[in-house]
């Protein structure tokens, strides 16, 4: 067998062998082992966010990819008379706006430039002028570019104006320390195949219970009904519809491995170490980052295409792929860029191996990148 591919992407990510091995046994959805795993995961996820059931927080697992989790929250939490404000500075903010349109939710969108963070001051001014707003949605790590929005400050603004705060922490949760109480988040959504390093299969929403209870009877869809999904899990420990059994078993193993690594803090350090090797290596070759460093997160980095007109991303991608390295295309509105992720079971030496492969490919293609 060819050496396994390493994924330098925003997900699905490279996973450990033991996480994959946790999926080797068929598992019935009513099996005790499975129901216990679901229970462990729901409690474990709350713990990672520094909250608990006793403090009034609940974890709801939703089948599907991350988007299903966001859509479940947005389409269940925003009531008929409510107005959702979406703070958007990238493709994932726009995705929430699209959901709001499809579900015909009352909503407003405040847009910021793709290479700028969501401004807490502008958010406060908007909320001051728009008392009709009831919920605010924002992305934490905007995977489009790799920037981190200032969730702590935006959370404080939301609470000052008494709004429910919904955060898409898909690509950050597990790889960035997050305290839901401190950040004043009411709904935090992430998925199985990002920084907790499980395999795809489900999303999860960490919810302030009082806010979750208000979603009863409000859903626009049967399968994405957040409240009913929670009520089902609470009543029997089971899912309403076929659960992603093996993905759940892999995820429980992934949570154990996160703990063994030293928790979110240690994982954050490893991802930051990956990013350091990546930045030093890419800058050494002559590549330039799209974002200014102050707003750049340590999850994924956007690199601008080099000035050399002979650079062809498809060739570059394919030649890296043949060497076992999977990078990611860009998604920017106003610049040509590609992305490299620092997350998953990859370590600084893997990033160095990627840098060496990048050099090799550029030499093979006779590309010269001027060091700025």
Ligand X SMILES: *Cc1c(COP(=O)(O)O)cnc(C)c1O
Q: Please give the residue ranges that form the binding site for ligand X (CB under 6 A).
A: 10-11, 65-67, 92, 139, 143, 168, 170-171, 191
Q: Least distance (Å) from ligand X to the CB of residue 342?
A: 13
- Residue 270 or 339: the one with the smaller Cβ distance to ligand X is 339
- Cis ω for the linkage preceding 12 (within 30 of 0): yes
- Residue 168 or 186: the one with the smaller Cβ distance to ligand X is 168
- Residue 116 or 365: the one with the smaller Cβ distance to ligand X is 116
- Residue 126 or 148: the one with the smaller Cβ distance to ligand X is 148
Other Cβ atoms within 10 Å of 168 Cβ, number: 29
Residue, CB closest to ligand X: 66
- Residue 152 or 353: the one with the smaller Cβ distance to ligand X is 152
Q: Least distance (Å) from ligand X to the CB of residue 116?
A: 17
**Distance (Å, rounded) from C-alpha 96 to C-alpha 139?**
9
- Residue 123 or 141: the one with the smaller Cβ distance to ligand X is 141
> 216-248 b/e with 16+ CB inside 10 Å = b?
eebbbeeebbbbbbbbbbeeeeebbeebbbbbb
- Residue 67 or 134: the one with the smaller Cβ distance to ligand X is 67
Q: Cα–Cα–Cα angle for 341, 320, 306, nearest 5°?
A: 75
Q: Least distance (Å) from ligand X to the CB of residue 171?
A: 4
Q: Least distance (Å) from ligand X to the CB of residue 68?
A: 7
**Three-class DSSP labels, the chain:** CCCCCEECCCCCCCCCHHHHHCCCCCCCCCCHHHHHHHHHHHHHHHHHCCCCCCCCEEEEEEECCHHHHHHHHHHHHCCCCCCEEEEECCHHHHHHHHHHHHCCCCEEEEECCCCCCCCHHHHHHHHHHCCCCCEEEEECEECCCCEECCHHHHHHHHHHCCCEEEEECCCCECCECCCCCCCCCCEEEEECCCCCCCCCCEEEEEEEHHHHHCCCCCCCCCCCCHHHHHHHHHHHCCCCCCCCHHHHHHHHHHHHHHHHHCHHHHHHHHHHHHHHHHHHHHHHHCCCECCCHHHECCCEEEEECCCCCCCCHHHHHHHHHHCCEECEECCCCCCCEEEEECCCCCCHHHHHHHHHHHHHHHHHCCCCCCCC
- Residue 35 or 154: the one with the smaller Cβ distance to ligand X is 154
Beta bridge partners of 339: 302, 328
- Residue 12 or 306: the one with the smaller Cβ distance to ligand X is 12
- Residue 247 or 362: the one with the smaller Cβ distance to ligand X is 247
Q: Least distance (Å) from ligand X to the CB of residue 145?
A: 11
């Amino acid at each position: 067998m060819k050496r396994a591919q390493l994924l330098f992407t925003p997900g699905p990510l490279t996973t450990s062998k033991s996480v994959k091995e946790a999926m080797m046994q068929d598992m019935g959805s009513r099996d005790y082992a499975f129901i216990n795993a679901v229970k462990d995961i729901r409690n474990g996820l709350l713990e990672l966010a520094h909250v608990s059931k006793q403090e009034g927080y609940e974890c709801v697992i939703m089948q599907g990819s991350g988007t299903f989790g966001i859509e479940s929250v947005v389409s269940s939490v925003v009531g008929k008379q409510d107005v959702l404000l979406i703070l958007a500075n990238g493709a994932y903010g726009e995705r929430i706006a699209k959901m709001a349109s499809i579900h015909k939710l009352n909503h407003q969108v405040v847009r910021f430039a793709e290479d700028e963070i969501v401004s807490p001051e502008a958010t406060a001014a908007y909320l001051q002028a728009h008392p009709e707003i009831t919920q605010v949605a924002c992305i934490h790590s905007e995977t489009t570019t790799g920037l981190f929005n200032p969730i702590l400050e935006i959370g404080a603004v939301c609470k000052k104006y008494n709004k429910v705060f919904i955060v898409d922490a898909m690509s950050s949760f597990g790889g960035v320390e997050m305290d839901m109480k401190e950040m004043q988040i009411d709904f935090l959504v992430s998925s199985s195949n990002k920084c907790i390093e499980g395999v795809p299969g489900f999303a999860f929403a960490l919810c302030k219970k009082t806010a979750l209870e208000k979603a009863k009877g409000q859903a626009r869809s049967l399968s994405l009904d957040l409240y009913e999904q929670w009520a089902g899990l609470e009543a029997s420990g089971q899912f309403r519809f076929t659960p992603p059994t093996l993905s759940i078993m892999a995820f429980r193993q992934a949570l154990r491995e996160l703990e063994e690594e030293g928790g979110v803090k240690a994982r954050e350090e490893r991802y930051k170490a990956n990013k350091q090797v990546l930045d030093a290596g890419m800058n050494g070759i002559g590549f330039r980052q799209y974002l200014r460093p102050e707003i750049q997160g340590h999850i994924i980095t956007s690199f601008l295409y080099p000035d050399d007109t002979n650079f062809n991303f498809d060739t570059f991608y394919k030649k890296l792929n043949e060497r076992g390295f999977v990078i990611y295309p860009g998604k920017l509105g106003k610049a040509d860029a590609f992305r490299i992720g620092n997350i998953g079971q990859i370590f600084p030496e893997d990033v160095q191996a990627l840098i060496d492969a990048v050099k090799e490919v550029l030499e093979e293609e006779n590309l010269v990148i001027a060091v700025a």
